[in-house]
Structure 1
Amino acid sequence: MPETLRRAVSVALESVMDPETGLSLPAMGLIYDTQIRGAEVEVTMTTTTRGCPLTGLLSTGVEHALLSVPGIRTARVNLTWDPPWDVSRMRA
């Protein structure tokens, strides 16, 4: 079950798109860490800039995607700008 849950969380994160680029947040390199503890998942993420006007939309999108995963009851999104994002983090 834990590996199945990890895959489901990964798929959920891939569904959250950056509206400006049309790429998923993981493809953009915006997801820094994902921790799953039982029915709780915690994601540490960033945005392309500290003043990104889409920060709220993106973090809410991540939270909703995670809560759509069967078995996840709590989702927490931590925003960080350390290390700062740059294009070398993109995998697309």
Structure 2
Amino acid sequence: MAEETVTLESIYEALKTVYDPEIPVNIVDLGLVYDVQVKDTGDVYVQMTLTFPGCGMGPYIGQQAEWAVQELDGVEEVQIEMVFDPPWSPELISEEARSQLGI
């Protein structure tokens, strides 16, 4: 069992430190993170997508997300699952990010 309990809030905050290298917005506000689950054991599951399936930065973004979550106290294992259904769309971008991007 993990020594400390990790929270969904702390996981989302960690994921907000990860940016799509082609867009100056973090992956949470960009709408790339679809689901986060944490077990009592400290295992974390993140379901996310990319702006398009052929995105060459996909492996990089996934690895950065895994590392960001893994650094949290209480996290044991991190599983990142890339999915493309439902497909990402600009409607998923947060209001804060829309303002930042001027859209």
TM-score (norm 2): 0.83
Total equivalences in the alignment: 91
Deviation at 1:33, TM superposition (A): 0.2
Larger strand proportion, structure 1 or 2? 1
Unpaired runs of 5+ residues, structure 1, are: none
Q: Is the radius of gyration larger for structure 1 or structure 2?
A: 2
Unpaired runs of 5+ residues, structure 2, are: 98-103
Which residue number corresponds to residue 77 of structure 2? 74
1:36 to 35, 38, 43: 38
Larger helix proportion, structure 1 or 2? 1
Runs of 4+ in structure 1 deviating by more than 4 angstroms, as ranges, are none
Deviation at 1:6, TM superposition (A): 2.1
Q: Counterparts in 2 of 1:1-92, with a 5 A limit?
A: 5-38=7-40, 39-91=42-94, 92=97
SS of 2:10's equivalent in the other structure is helix
SS of 1:25's equivalent in the other structure is coil
> Aligned partner of 2:71: which letter?
S
SS of 1:27's equivalent in the other structure is coil
TM-score (norm 1): 0.93
Q: CA RMSD in A?
A: 1.3
Over the matched positions of the two proteins, sequence identity in percent amounts to 29
